[in-house]
Amino acid sequence: MANSGWDIAMRRIDAIYDLPQFVASSLVRKIAANKFRLPPTDRSTYQQLPDYVIVRIEHIVREAYLDAGEDVGGDVLRGYLWQQALEGRRAMIASGELLPPTEFRRRIGVTEKRLEKLLNDGSLFSVEVDGVQYVPAVLADAAHNLRRLQTICQIIVPAPPLSRLDFLTSRNGNLGDRIPLDMLADDDDFKVLEQAAAAWAAEWSRTAVKVYEGEHETEPAGVEPLYITVAEIDPRRPLWERASEALHVHGYEWPLGPYPDLRSFTLFVERHTSGSAAPMLEACVQILVDGEVIRIRVVAAPGATLTSKTMPAGKNHEGLIDITEQVIAHLTNAKRT
């Protein structure tokens, strides 16, 4: 028995509906070729079939191709999961878990301008459904300490909106299997929750520092870095502070040494966001050890006014990593002054 997605879909449709073979076959191919939706331009071709039957057949075709393992991990699965997530968000609107901004404003008694400010500073957050923003109703529930709830919302900004909602409303093993919303009233509980929220938020963003031999303005392709270190750090912290922490916390680093004693090398600082395939380059710093001084040239750094600088090399540095740490510390202090 053939087990392609088309074959499985045909058998399942035949078991439910009395459709001519050529009609079912045409439907399956058109639906499969259009991200598992019948193109609107082809709807009139099957006008004898009610809308609910078309929707059911779309579901059958999608499930059949998934069961056949065709394009799993690609467009088929992504489209399927995206549709499931969208249907879940629509259900949250229907159940009142997500509120239109006007209704949310009415519940907490604020103006449109005030609500906009609360959303912009992270005290509240919204969820997009079909191009429209909705606010979780739980954020307006007077049964909770809303001021403290807004504080926690600000802490967990790095995570996607629905993940934030899940964090607030789900039991958490790191909190003794308690729900964060139930930890807002007690002072001691709230302190524990703040710490847990900060640690959880940092997991959504990683800062990486990579070091390459020689001077570069873009990361060299096909070349392994001399050193790389990665740490989970809140992306809202200043760039050089995050780079410094990545170098010191030793969350992940490779190789472990020994490292070559170089006079010229380049470091790249990147931010990796969970769910995003490509990292974002935040800074490129060229370093040249020239006798008793270290020459620094910042090629790219958001908001940086520093383009080139010199600093004392010192006599106690122990090689590549030590010099890198000194340079990052220098840039951190220069940014503060």
Tally of domains within the chain: 3
The pLDDT value recorded for residue 302 is 59
Q: Residue 34's pLDDT is what?
A: 79
In this structure, the answer to whether residues 209 and 328 fall within a common structural domain is yes
Q: Which of 149, 170, 201 is the last residue of a domain?
A: 201
pLDDT band at 303 (very low <50, low <70, confident <90, very high): low
pLDDT, tens digit (0-9, with 9 covering 90-100), for 201-232: 888 888 999 999 999 988 998 888 999 998 88
Instruction: For residues 279 and 255, state if they share a domain.
Output: yes
The pLDDT value given to residue 69: 74
pLDDT of residue 166 exceeding 80, the answer is yes
Q: Which domain holds residue 56?
A: 5-92
**What is residue 157's predicted lDDT score, i.e. its pLDDT?**
92
pTM of the predicted protein model: 0.63
If you count DSSP H runs as helices and E runs as strands, how many of each does the chain have, helices first? 11, 10
- Confidence class for position 5, pLDDT limits 50, 70, 90: confident
Cβ atoms of 233 and 205 within 8 Å: the answer is: yes
Q: What is the pLDDT of residue 164?
A: 94
Distance CA 273, CA 301 (A): 18
Mean pLDDT for all residues in the chain: 86
**Contact, 214 vs 169, CB < 8 A?**
no
Same-domain check for residues 169 and 221: no
Same domain, 277 and 332: yes
Do 169 and 216 share a domain, yes or no?
A: no
What is the pLDDT at residue 312? Answer: 76
